Structure 1
Amino acid sequence: MNKVLLFNPRSANATFRIPNSILNIAASIDGCYDWVIVDGNRETDPQQTILNYLASGEFKYLGFSVMPGPQLRQAIPIAKAVKQQFKETTMIWGGYFPSNHSKVVLDSGYVDFIINGPGDHCFPKLLDALENFLPYEFIKNLIYKANGQIVKNAKEDLIDQDALPPLPYSKLNRFYPMEKYLGKTYLGERTFAYHSSIGCPFTCSFCAVVPIYEARWKAKSARFVYQDVKYIKDNFGADAIEFHDNNFFVSEKRAVEFSNLVKNENMTWWGMARIDTMDKFKDASLAAIREAGCKVIFFGAESGNDKVLAQMDKGGTQSGEQIIRFAERMKKFDIIPEYSFVLGTPAPSPQQVQQQIDFDINFIKQVKRVNPQTEIVIYTYSPVPTEGSAMYEDVLAQGFKFPATLEDWISPAWESFDLRKNPLTPWLTPEMIDRIRNFETVLNGLYPTVTDIRMNELKRKAIKLMSGIRYKVNLYNYPYEIKLLQKMWKYRQPEIQGF
Structure 2
Amino acid sequence: MNKIILFNPLSAVAKHRIPNSLMNIAASVEGKYDWVIVDGNCETDPLQKIQSYLYTGEYKYIGVTVMPGPQLKQATPVCKAIKAKNPQVKVIWGGYFPSTQPDTVLCSGYVDFIINGPGDHAFPLLIDALENGTPYEFIKNIIYKTDTGIVKNGKEDLIDQETLPPLPYDKLDTMYPIKKYLGRTYLGEKTLAYHSSIGCPFTCSFCAVVPIYEARWKAKSAQTVYKDIKYIKDKWGADAIEFHDNNFFVSEKRAVEFARLIAPEKMSWWGMARIDTMDKFSDASLQAIRDGGCKIIFFGAESGNNDILEQLDKGGTQTGDQIIRFAERLKKFDIIPEYSFVLGTPAPTPEKVQAQIDFEIEFIKKVKAVNPNTEIVIYTYSPVPTEGSELFKQVLDAGFKFPQTLEDWVSPAWENFDMRKNPLTPWLTPEMINKIRNFETVLNGVYPTVTDIKLNDLKRRSIRFVSAIRYKASLYKYPYEIKLLQRFWKYRQPEIQGF
TM class, shorter-length: over 0.9
2:343, 2:252 → 1: CA distance?
A: 30
2:443, 2:473 → 1: CA distance?
A: 12
What is the match of residue 271 of structure 1?
A: 271
2:382, 2:269 → 1: CA distance?
A: 29
Amino acid at match of 2:92: I
What is the match of residue 324 of structure 1?
A: 324
What is the match of residue 392 of structure 1?
A: 392
CA RMSD between the two structures: 0.4
Amino acid at match of 2:324: I
What is the match of residue 379 of structure 1?
A: 379
What is the match of residue 249 of structure 2?
A: 249
Amino acid at match of 1:58: E
Listed one character per residue, the Cα deviations across residues 342-398 of structure 1 (whole Å, up to 9, x for unaligned) are 000000000000000000000000000000000000000000000000000110010
Secondary structure of 2:333's counterpart equals coil
Structure 1: tracts of 5 or more residues without a match: none
1:73-472 to 2 correspondence within 5 Å?
A: 73-472=73-472
2:346, 2:18 → 1: CA distance?
A: 37
2:245, 2:147 → 1: CA distance?
A: 37
1:9-48 to 2 correspondence within 5 Å?
A: 9-48=9-48
Cα displacement (A) at 1:275: 0.1
2:383, 2:128 → 1: CA distance?
A: 37
Amino acid at match of 1:198: I
2:389, 2:324 → 1: CA distance?
A: 28
Secondary structure of 1:444's counterpart equals helix
2:351, 2:274 → 1: CA distance?
A: 30
What is the match of residue 57 of structure 1?
A: 57
Amino acid at match of 1:300: G
Amino acid at match of 1:16: H
Cα displacement (A) at 1:450: 0.3
Name the TM-score, length of structure 1 as normaliser: 1.00
Cα displacement (A) at 1:9: 0.2
What is the match of residue 2 of structure 2?
A: 2
Listed one character per residue, the Cα deviations across residues 200-248 of structure 1 (whole Å, up to 9, x for unaligned) are 0000000000000000000001100010110110111000000000000
1:260, 1:62 → 2: CA distance?
A: 41
1:435, 1:47 → 2: CA distance?
A: 41
Listed one character per residue, the Cα deviations across residues 71-111 of structure 1 (whole Å, up to 9, x for unaligned) are 01110000000010000000000000000000000000100
Amino acid at match of 1:220: K
Name the TM-score, length of structure 2 as normaliser: 1.00
1:26, 1:249 → 2: CA distance?
A: 27
Of 204-213 and 52-61, more deviation after overlay is shown by 52-61
1:70, 1:425 → 2: CA distance?
A: 21
How many pairs were matched up?
499
Secondary structure of 1:332's counterpart equals helix
Amino acid at match of 2:27: A
Amino acid at match of 1:77: P
Cα displacement (A) at 1:131: 0.3
Amino acid at match of 2:456: N
Secondary structure of 1:242's counterpart equals strand
Secondary structure of 1:347's counterpart equals coil
1:20, 1:472 → 2: CA distance?
A: 44
Cα displacement (A) at 1:148: 3.7
2:88, 2:148 → 1: CA distance?
A: 19
2:83, 2:259 → 1: CA distance?
A: 48
Cα displacement (A) at 1:277: 0.1
The percent identity for this pair of structures is: 75
Secondary structure of 1:300's counterpart equals strand
Secondary structure of 2:436's counterpart equals helix
2:18, 2:85 → 1: CA distance?
A: 29
1:494, 1:148 → 2: CA distance?
A: 44
1:125, 1:174 → 2: CA distance?
A: 27
Listed one character per residue, the Cα deviations across residues 99-149 of structure 1 (whole Å, up to 9, x for unaligned) are 000000000010000000000000000000000000000000000011240
